[in-house]
Chain A
């Protein structure tokens, strides 16, 4: 009979192996899923795991989608490590996009090429403001940040809807609910010709380095995580839990807001009701699959980006619904949660109980 036995301390091997095993299980379940849907599983897997890395252009698209996921996940990892459960990154992302669009719409034909900088800064401010509401309610009234931040997502989407259906609707846009296309000056500079990859990816990678240094090499970053690991120890040491809440939420709001700004001032180029595509929620999975570690999240962001692209390709090539993306994301997260059991427990064959009186 197999049984789970607690390990004296978490296994370092399974810390790394668990996400990989989860990926393998996800692929196996994916094969079964394709079979059940009557599709060729090889083709299905090709769409998800080969097509997105087949060409330079495809790789570029992979990076375009991985960038916002990584940026948002960086902020969320700080939150989760600080025991602050910000589930509303999607809302902070939307408000970042809204603030950025507000500034971008001020640009005209004469604006200089530097104009994208205030646009991005506006996005950062927008995300921070939205996260600050959650931080203030939690700090002042002990409101549950999970519920508050989640509900604010829907408020943010309503605000976006109000703007694009109302005051910011393009008068020349045939009554479509969208703002006018931003001026070229607001466009975030691209890195290569013929690819949509822009400097956002550099910002995200800089964020990875900064987050790593902050978390593992500064006292502030270390203190920040204590309230997540052992709240009583944080209080004993004199680290303020209020400060931890504000810092975590403001940083993660800023990251999500920046991601939103990069998106509207980059690939999208205008404000539309289709800005929210679930990056804020997918980034939660990115954060956990990446072990809340800045470097780990680079890989998980790329993986999650593959699922996004694969889902779209599955729709056009295999005639499968786009929601397959969500199914794969969910499968991965659940497999990971299951595999994580192996980190704290080992599976072993239970010894047969020695016969009494032998």
Chain B
């Protein structure tokens, strides 16, 4: 299938406008946008043809999101011009973008939990329709695209995949000619991704164009017919992704390919973390209740927890780190000691270190220097009487910056001045450097560029090889397959039995993500 075969199937809209398919639907010329610290887009030019699934590929921070916000009118470019249907346009705001036929599905949903699906959709539409009419439209669209969705359900009862469907239907109700999707699969199970792709292909067959933003190479190769690669705000390549390999695409995206991790089979040491029958209600009314979670981590092994986020990972991590001390005392054992009721300080003293997924605000204090941020979890520079030795602190921070190749203005640079990848390197470095007995890491490489991600994974493997027990919670299956010795899957607050990496397949983990593991019991270790 190439792009011409799509444009041969015009929709009503297209036959009425009777436009030859060689005119670009959207054309950007030399778009530049500067933010105070960074040139987000540097003379970016781009053409989207009618009926094309056009991928925008780039690492985090490459300027993809800024470019999409410019197209959607949420951000104004400093320079350059935009043509839609061959005519120059100046998109001042999202309303105007929608009037032109541009819709966008954002990575982070903007839905009100307490309202129903139809009410949420209704909020974004002009008020000429009644709620009942909107509900009917939602049912029609849902049926037309095989998107299973009940308009009267309150949003807080929906799964993440269903919430995304709400956003997609909301976009479709505007009858878009160009649909922008920003990292749509980051919250979906592999099966849900397949469903989404089917919907997108159907849309394209009806003549809609799609701009698909992602950094997942295999998805782009499977779905898209054209790809523009961004790096550091500039277009570094254009290609047909179906003719490229993962390696060649990633080379365009990052400039070089990271070295693959070397794994060696090993026998794990003694039991470090033993969680048995951990059940906990969530303090958050929309949180997930943990039920009878069992997990063991031994010295010298990496255990992964897969699953779509929002299935209890947050709650489990709070209970493990000691930020939530409501768990039964002996449901969490650390090196044999019951620690369920102990706080983070006591657990850290026993060798438990934790890297949270929220880097700014939880893993680090944004306005404080890197040196001061060491004090959150490290106390080498603090004397017995509580006195801080500032120069020792600075030296310690400098050592971590050097060892983990953190790009920062030095130990006194505030944490908020670092990019996400560099801050994560610093935080991981801070915890790894403490020589923990057990390291728990949540979303270790979320939002990081390929180079930083590879470096952090290498640090985790090195830590494991040094005999530390490592527990990784991640949404990225690729990452877990790369890192882990054993895997669990979390779904609806329950944890699956563990699965050795050799026995794990994407299909199996994918079906377990929906909670279907009761029939396939495969205990290891």
Contacts and interface: CB of A to CB of B under 8 A. Distances in A.
Interface string A183-226: 00000000000000000000000000000000001111011001
A219 B78 CA distance: 46
B36 A6 contact: yes
B232 to A, nearest CB: 17
B107 interface: no
B36 to A, nearest CB: 5
A169 to B, nearest CB: 48
Interface in A7-23: 7-10
A226 B376 contact: yes
Given A8-B37, A219-B386, A230 B365 contact: yes
B36 A7 contact: yes
Given A9-B416, A222-B375, A238-B322, A233 B364 contact: yes
Given A226-B376, A230-B365, A235-B362, 17 more contacts: A7-B36, A8-B37, A217-B390, A218-B386, A222-B372, A223-B375, A230-B362, A230-B366, A232-B358, A233-B362, A236-B321, A236-B362, A237-B375, A237-B377, A353-B78, A354-B80, A356-B90
Given A219-B379, A219-B386, A220-B386, A236 B356 contact: yes
Interface of B: 36-37, 78-81, 88, 90, 321-323, 343-346, 348, 354, 356, 358, 361-368, 372, 375-377, 379, 382, 386-388, 390, 414, 416-417
A232 B79 contact: no
Contacts of B388: 217-219, 222
Given A218-B388, A230-B362, A5 B344 contact: no
A347 interface: no
B79 A354 contact: yes
A229 B372 CA distance: 12
A240 B78 CA distance: 47
Contacts of A354: 78-80
A351 interface: yes
Contacts of B414: 9
A38 interface: no
Contact of B363 (A5, A7, A236): A236
A237 B376 contact: yes
B376 A229 contact: no
Interface of A: 5-10, 217-220, 222-223, 226, 229-230, 232-233, 235-238, 240, 351, 353-354, 356-357
A232 B323 CA distance: 9
Contacts of B36: 5-8
7 contacts: A9-B416, A219-B386, A220-B386, A222-B375, A222-B388, A235-B323, A356-B81
B417 A233 contact: no
Given A217-B387, A218-B387, A230 B361 contact: yes
Q: Which of A6, A9, A236, A237 has the most CB of B within 10 A?
A: A236
B362 A8 contact: no
A238 B325 CA distance: 11
Contacts of B375: 219, 222-223, 237
Contacts of A232: 358, 361-362
Contacts of B344: 235-238
B260 to A, nearest CB: 33
A240 B376 CA distance: 13
B382 A236 contact: no
Contacts of A10: 367
B416 A236 contact: no
Nearest to B378: A237
B354 A9 contact: no
Contacts of B322: 238
A226 B365 contact: yes
A335 to B, nearest CB: 24
Nearest to B29: A357
Nearest to B323: A235
A7 B376 CA distance: 26
Nearest to A226: B365
A226 B80 CA distance: 44
A251 B390 CA distance: 25
Contact of A229 (B323, B346, B365, B390): B365
A219 B382 CA distance: 7
B416 to A, nearest CB: 7
Contact of A238 (B343, B362, B366, B382): B343
A62 B6 CA distance: 83
A320 to B, nearest CB: 42
Contacts of B382: 219
Q: Which of B36, B80, B367, B382 has the most CB of A within 10 A?
A: B36
A220 B382 CA distance: 10
Nearest to A355: B81
A223 B375 CA distance: 8
A238 B387 CA distance: 18
Contacts of A230: 361-362, 364-366
Nearest to B88: A356
Contacts of A222: 372, 375, 388
A235 B368 CA distance: 16
B358 A229 contact: no
A102 to B, nearest CB: 35
Contacts of A356: 80-81, 88, 90
Contacts of B345: 237-238
A217 B367 CA distance: 17
B241 to A, nearest CB: 31
Nearest to A213: B387
Contacts of A6: 36
A167 B66 CA distance: 72
B379 to A, nearest CB: 7
Contacts of A233: 361-365, 376
Contacts of B37: 8
Nearest to A353: B78
Contacts of B81: 356-357
Q: Which of A10, A223, A232, A353 has the most CB of B within 10 A?
A: A232
A357 B417 CA distance: 36
A226 B344 CA distance: 15
B518 to A, nearest CB: 35
Nearest to A6: B36
Nearest to A345: B36
Contacts of A7: 36
A227 to B, nearest CB: 10
Q: Which of A7, A8, A233, A354 has the most CB of B within 10 A?
A: A233
Nearest to B413: A9
Contacts of B366: 229-230
A229 B88 contact: no
A353 to B, nearest CB: 8
Given A8-B36, A219-B379, A236 B88 contact: no
